[in-house]
Structures are given as structure tokens and as C-alpha cells.
Structure 1
Amino acid sequence: MARPQMLRLPEVLQEIQMSRAAFYRMRARGSAPRLVKLPNGQLRCRRADLDDWLSQYEDTAA
């Protein structure tokens, strides 16, 4: 079974074109994509979680 692709936080920030501070504000409000904290303290985001989060904001009127 293949492991899901895990993105580092800088990769997520680059993809969604958001600053780290803005991302952490969203995270504090509970509106950021789900993150996984690794045993070494680093944060990762599963590709599937990021894609699901992004799909919430797609413009369905287009």
C-alpha cells in the first residue's frame, strides 16, 4: 500500500500563494487544511487534504 503524498508547509504556502502568518491565522480559526505533526515537530499536509480543502473554494458559477 502506497503512502499518501505529504507536502511540507512551505510547499503548501507556495501552492496556495499565502504567507505563513496568514496561514496560521486561518489555522487558528479552524479554516485551514488539516495538518499532521510529525514526531520531530515538523508539519505536513496530505495532498488529498489540501485538494479537498481547495475544492471548497472552487467557483461553481463559472
Structure 2
Amino acid sequence: MTPSRLTVADVCADLGISRSTFYDWRAKGRGPKCIRLPNGELRIRVADYERWLEELEESA
């Protein structure tokens, strides 16, 4: 079964970037839309992540 949400580690591994790069992009408003869980961890909906990647392709 495919997960409906990804962790920051999942996204970083997929993109081949460090966690610090992910958080830098997020701070600059350049990363995918995230959900903050009650425990403070972030999750990224797969649909939001795929949409964000498509937007990057369109602007390239």
C-alpha cells in the first residue's frame, strides 16, 4: 500500500537533498506544502508533493 503522506526524510531521499536544504526551501516558501502534526513533526501529502514537482517542471 502506498502511503498518503511522506516524511521529510522521504522527500529528502527522493530529491537527493539534505534536511537543512529542505527546511531552507520551506522557510523561503519554495518547498512543498506541509502538515504539522500535534507532536511537531511534518508530513507532506503525496498529492501535494507531486503537484509541487509538476509546478517545478512547468517553470523549468
Structure 2's unaligned 5+ residue stretches are none
Bigger helix share: 2
Identity of matched residues, %: 41
Structure 1's unaligned 5+ residue stretches are none
Matched residue count: 58
Task: Please provide the CA RMSD for this pair.
Answer: 2.0
The ranges of structure 1 where at least 4 consecutive aligned residues each deviate by more than 2 angstroms after the TM superposition are none
Please tell me whether Structure 1 or Structure 2 has the larger radius of gyration of its CA atoms. 1
TM score, norm. by length of structure 2: 0.84
TM score, norm. by length of structure 1: 0.81
